[in-house]
Amino acid sequence: MSGLLALVRRELRSQLHAPTAWIVAALFLFLSGWFFFNLVWQFAALVRSYGLYAQMTGTPDVADRLNVNAVVVEGLFSNVLVLFLFLVPALSMRAYAEERKLGTDELLLTAPVGATRIVLGKYLGLLFIAGVLLAATGVYLALVVWRGDPETGPIVSGFVGLALALGALCALGLAVSTLTSSQMMAAVGSFVVFLGLYVVGWPADSVEGWARQVLRGLSLPARFDAFSRGLVTTPDLAYFLSLIVLGLVTARLAIASQRWR
Q: Which pLDDT does position 50 carry in this prediction?
A: 83
Tally of CB atoms within 10 A around 157: 18
pLDDT in tens, 198-222: 999 888 888 888 888 899 899 999 9
- Whether the Cβ atoms of residue 177 and residue 92 lie closer than 8 Å to each other: yes
pLDDT in tens, 224-238: 999 988 889 999 999
User: Rounded distance, CA 261 to CA 256, Å?
Assistant: 9
How much is the average pLDDT of 232-251? 96
Q: Which pLDDT does position 259 carry in this prediction?
A: 67
* 245 Cβ contact list (under 8 Å, min separation 6): 171
- Provide the mean pLDDT of the chain: 89
Run of H or E residues at 34:
helix 19-57
pLDDT in tens, 39-67: 999 988 988 888 888 878 777 776 677 78
- Residue 261 reports pLDDT greater than 70: no
Q: Which pLDDT does position 1 carry in this prediction?
A: 67
- Whether the Cβ atoms of residue 246 and residue 172 lie closer than 8 Å to each other: yes
Amino acid code (one letter) for 92 = S
